[in-house]
Structures are given as structure tokens and as C-alpha cells.
Amino acid sequence: MSASKSVTFRGEVFAPSHSGYASLILPFVACKNFLQTLFRLTLGLLWSELVEGKTADPLLTWAGFFAFCTLSLISYYGRAYAGFFLLIFFLLWFIDFQVAQRKVFSKGHRLPTTVECRGEWALWQRQIPDGRTEYIKFPTSQVAQISLLRTQVRGGAFQGILGTVWQVYLTLADRSEWLLDETWDTAVAFGKANQLSDYFAVPAVVLASEGDGKYAAEPLDLPNVIQNAQVCSTIRCQKSGQQWHIYSQWQAVSTWQLGGQILSRFGFLLFAVIVANLMIHFGGLLHFCGSVWFNRSAIGLGEGLNLSLRWQVILELAVALSIMVYKGAQISREEHLYITPDRLTFFLDTQQIDQVETAAIDSVLFLTQPWPSLLILAQDQAIEIRELQNSSEFRAMVLQLNEALTAVGTDSRWH
């Protein structure tokens, strides 16, 4: 570091997203939040009781059942408008997502940040939406590391996930973190982090990551990784001359894992359609049970038990299932890595996605947040693999890839 002149690092962060129309669609937002909470609770209860053998909290179960009964009655009394409500709900959700995404990721929706270093001191500043500036001054010697974090961005009235970004922080010795930059571009984020790392002479670390080389927050647990790789039959490796071929192979067990992925990522859409219509029928049953209780007559009870499907329901289910099948086809593609002394090439099935020079590879990381992924970092370039089935597959592929890079003899991390 130079003590004789001022050095300034500049960045931008996304401004908080506020929707001016949020209050107008509050009933739809509340409905979505309830259904999403119910969806997560249902999956959690099923996982706890069927897989882990745990007993659900009775109070939570009864509270959820009471809320479900109440909304079922409301749905039954408003059943004539159910199809229209669902149509408007999904249209508003889609429009809100598009508007929020364009707004958040537009250039005009950024707030400037700076770190100015002069002598032994550094001044961090960030503009906030009301025009004021936040700042903090600290000794440059207090900078312990440059932290990178992959995180999700939410926005809009429905607070949906708009995308993922890289955040670059200054992490001080007291563990406080000061955000300098947010960007969706992996190469830009690592370029910024490397500049800061070189200036402050501290390491750049990717939080929630595992690996053996540069940027890794935690080392790979090699004994467990090797053991898992030996039993992980879906990750294969073939060597032919100087070329290594590492790939994921579809097996019967992959079908169950894919089903779990589809349900966790896209099952809410199908769940919302099913539950919305189920609540109408269940509300009818509650209504006619109440009629029987108060009128002491079972006349009309059969209407409450009528579960015939309307054509609108069939259409809604068909659309939801079609979306899930389409998304499932996307995430079920097989990943292929071809490594030679000259280059590493990434394919999804037979489609080439990206290519980097093998000698330029800096690090291979397994990221655990915001979802499991494998990151291959090179100079001004990055390849990300997301669609493996579980953490064991990711770790097994990292192990195989490290072995291949070592074998071709061009990765300087092992020399």
C-alpha cells in the first residue's frame, strides 16, 4: 500500500425496491404468502414425519388446520369467482416479477459506494435512497479479508426472487462487514475482489464455499469426499490419451432426486392450483356439515361431497404440470466436462455452454449458497454448474476435476 497518495475503489449496490402499487394488490399478496407458508409447512411436516420420524408440533398443526378451514369456507362462498381470482393472481404475479426485475437491475436503480484509502486510514461511504451518506472510518490494518457472497435478490410486491448477485465486502478484524459492490457478473465481482485483495494484502474468500485452492472458505473434507465419491455412481470419469471426460450419468435414483428438486423449486405453482380448488370443496363440506348440525337434516350433504372436476380446473392443472415438466427437462440434462492440457469445455447434453483455457483456471469451488453449485474460476471468466442432484455429486465432481487438472499438469495451484 502507498501511504503518500489517496486511492479510491468504487462500486454500486442495488437500491431497495418499493412497489407503489403494492397496497392495491394486498389481498393477492396475502393469499400468495399464506399458500407459500402452507406449502413449506406441508413439505416440512411430510419430511419430518415420513423421513426423519419426528412428531409435528400439535399446536402448529391445529393452528394450520384452523386457518385452512377458515379460508376454505371463504373460498367456497366465493367459488363463482375462483377461476377469475386465480387468473388475476398469476397475471399480477408475473407482471410484478417483470416490472421489479427490470427496475432492480436497471442502471438507474443503483446507489454508489466508495472506499477511499489515504495513508493508514480508509473511509467507506454509501449513499442511501433519501440522499444522505453513510460512512465509517477505520485503519487499513483492520481489514482482515475481502469477502464474496452469492445471494438472492428479492423485490416487487410479492417479494419474489428476481435473480442472484455477487456481493463484495470489506471484512474487518472485528468481523464487521462493509458492502462495496453488488453485481450479477461473476468475473466483475472477482476482478473487484482481487483489486482490493492486492491493495490491502489480504485474502479474498468466497463465503459458504469449499475447495482446495484459492478463494475457498473451507477445505474439502477429503476422507468423506473420497468415500462419497466411491459410492456416488452418478459421477463418472473417463480418460482417453490426454483428454479427461467427467460427466453425470442418469440413473434410477436420479429420478427420485429430480422429483424432489422439481417439487421444491416449482411445486408451489401446482400446489397453489390444487389447494385453491381443494379449499372450495372442503369449504363446501364444512358448510353442509354445519347445515346438518343446525338444521338436523342431511339434505344437500351430497352437494358438499361432489368432487367433480370443472374444465377450468383441468386447464389450470395442465398448465401447472406443463411448466413443471418443461423445467424438469431443463434441470435433468447431463453435465459433461472435457479437460485437455489446452482447454476445459462444458457441455449440457450435446450443447456446448462454455470453454476456458486450462492454464488460466484459478480455482474450483463447491458453493453451498444460495443453492449448491460448482464454480470453475479462470482469468476474467467463470463456468457455473448448478443442476447436479445433491451435495455428494458436486463434491465428487470437484474431486474428479481437481484430479484431472493435476494430471494435465497445467494448473499452477498444485506446483
> Rounded distance, CA 49 to CA 20, Å?
42
Domain boundary among 208, 241, 268: 208
Asked if residue 129 belongs to a domain, the reply is yes
Asked if residue 99 belongs to a domain, the reply is no
Please tell me whether residues 380 and 235 are part of one structural domain. Answer: yes
What sign does the CA torsion over 165, 177, 113, 187 have? Answer: negative
| Per-residue pLDDT reduced to its tens digit, 23-61 | 888 888 888 887 777 767 766 665 555 545 566 667 767
Asked if residue 267 belongs to a domain, the reply is no
Whether 370 shows a pLDDT value over 80: the answer reads yes
Please tell me whether residues 235 and 181 are part of one structural domain. Answer: no
> Rounded distance, CA 392 to CA 178, Å?
33
Q: What is the CATH classification number for the domain harbouring 366? A: 2.30.29
Asked if residue 166 belongs to a domain, the reply is yes
**What percent of the chain lies above the pLDDT cut of 90?**
37
> Rounded distance, CA 153 to CA 307, Å?
41
Range with the poorest average pLDDT among 231-240, 265-274, 354-363: 265-274
Asked if residue 92 belongs to a domain, the reply is no
Please tell me whether residues 353 and 233 are part of one structural domain. Answer: yes
Residues 327-352, mean pLDDT to the nearest whole number: 88
| Per-residue pLDDT reduced to its tens digit, 109-132 | 889 999 999 999 999 999 988 889
Asked if residue 113 belongs to a domain, the reply is yes
**What number of other Cβ atoms are within 10 A of residue 37's Cβ?**
12
DSSP assignment letter at 47: I
Asked if residue 214 belongs to a domain, the reply is no
Please tell me whether residues 166 and 241 are part of one structural domain. Answer: no
- Helical pair 311-331 and 82-104, crossing angle rounded to 10 deg: 30
Cα 104 from chain centre: 17
| Per-residue pLDDT reduced to its tens digit, 168-201 | 999 999 999 999 999 999 999 999 999 999 999 9
Highest mean pLDDT among 84-88, 221-225, 275-279: 84-88
Please tell me whether residues 375 and 239 are part of one structural domain. Answer: yes
Residues 208-223, mean pLDDT to the nearest whole number: 87
The number of distinct structural domains making up the chain is: 2
Please tell me whether residues 127 and 190 are part of one structural domain. Answer: yes
Domain span at residue 340 reads: 222-249+334-414
Confidence at residue 366, expressed as pLDDT on a 0 to 100 scale: 95
Amino acid letter, residue 388: L
Asked if residue 315 belongs to a domain, the reply is no
